[in-house]
Structure 1
C-alpha cells in the first residue's frame, strides 16, 4: 500500500528522534534509564493496543509498520523518549512539575490534532475524543514521573530550576507560548469538526 510521502517522513522522523534521544539519555545509566525505557515502552504500547482492540481509535495508515495494528516502532521509541526526557528535566517540586507536564501533555495532544486533521495515520472512533486523550496523557506522564522518581536518583537528573517558571523567565515564556498556542489549535480543530 502506498502512503503520502509526509506520512513516511513523520513516521521515520519520530522513530529516529525517539531512538537517538533515548540512547542519549540511557547512556547516563543504562540500567536505570534502560528499565524506565522498557517499562514506559511496554505500558504505552500495551495501553495503545488495548485501546485499539476496544475500538476507541484506529491507525488506518501505518507507513513502514503495516504488519501491526498500531505504530509499534513509534510506541517503543518516541513515547519512552518523552518519558525519559520528562523525568530527566522535571523540576524538583510538584508545584513546578505541573506546568512542566502541562506543556508536554499539550504538545502530545496537539500532535494528535495534526495527525487527525492532516494525515490518515490516526482516527478516533466511537467513544473516544481529544478530552479522553488529554486525560490519558496526563495520567500516563504523571504515573511515570512518579515511577521515574523511584528508579532515577536525583544525582542522575538535570531538573529545571523552579525559578525559571516565574514571571518573565525563559521557562515561563516557553510554557505560556506552548499552552496558549495549543489551546488556540484545539479551538480551531473543534471549530472545523463542528462545521462538518
Structure 2
C-alpha cells in the first residue's frame, strides 16, 4: 500500500472513504438495481481507464496499491460509480433539467481533475490527451449511465430533484449558475495560462 504524508494520499484515501459511504447509503435503498448499476459503471470505468492508459493518452504516476496495478483501481471502483449512482438517484425527470444537473457534475469533476493533473501525481495527460478529451468522455460516460440507470432503477428507488427548483429565480438556478460560471471562468483562466506558456 502506497500511503504517506502527501497530497496524493490525502486525496485518494479521503475520496475512497467518502465515495464508499455514499455508495453504501444509495445501495441499501435497492441493492439489486443500484448494485447492478454499480457493477456496470465500475467495469466501464476500469475498462476505459485501461484502454486510454494502454494507448498512452494519460498515466497515473501515483497509485494507492502499486503492487496490484499501475492504475488507480480502487479509486475508480468507488468514485466513478458513486458519481453515476448519485446522478441516477437525484437527476430530474425532464431532460433539460437533467442536462443542467450533469453540467454541474461534469464541471465540478473537471475542476478537480484539472487541479489533480497540474498539482499532484494522481493523473498526468500524455500525447494528444487534454482537458476537452476528458470533458467529452465524462459527458458520454455519465449520460450513457443516466439512460441505462433509467431502465435499471425503478422510479420508486429514485428521488429526482424537482425541475421547478432549477427554473430562473429559484435556489437551484442560483446554485447551478454560480457553479457553472465559476468553473467556466476557471477553465478559461487555465486554458489561457496553458496557451501562453
* TM-score bin, normalised by smaller chain: over 0.9
1:77 — aligned with what?
A: 78
Query: Cα offset for 1:168?
Result: 1.7
How far apart are the structure 2 equivalents of 1:19 and 1:170?
A: 29
RMSD: 1.3
Give the structure 2 partner of residue 104 of structure 1: 105
Q: In the aligned structure 2, how far is the partner of 1:61 from the partner of 1:167?
A: 43
- Report 1:47-196 matches (<5 A): 47-62=48-63, 64-67=64-67, 68-196=69-197
Contact kept, 8 Å, 1:41 with 1:79, in 2: the verdict is yes
**Structure 1 match to 2:37:** 36
Please say if residues 3 and 9 of structure 2, whose CA atoms lie closer than 8 Å, have aligned partners that are also in contact: no
Partner of 1:21: 22
Partner of 1:114, secondary structure, is helix
Structure 1 unmatched ranges of 5 or more: none
Distance across 2 between alignment mates of 1:4 and 1:173: 38
Q: Deviations over 1:169-190 (max 9, x none)?
A: 1211111111111111112221
Give the secondary-structure state (helix, strand or coil) at the position aligned to 2:33.
Answer: helix
Deviation at 1:3, TM superposition (A): 6.0
Q: What's the secondary structure of 1:69's corresponding residue?
A: coil
Contact residue 166 and residue 172 of structure 1 kept, 8 A? yes
TM-aligned CA deviation for residue 127 of structure 1: 1.4
Q: Where has structure 1 moved over 3 Å in runs of 4 or more?
A: 1-4
Q: How many residues align?
A: 195
Could you tell me which runs of 5 or more consecutive residues in structure 2 were left unpaired when the two chains were aligned: none
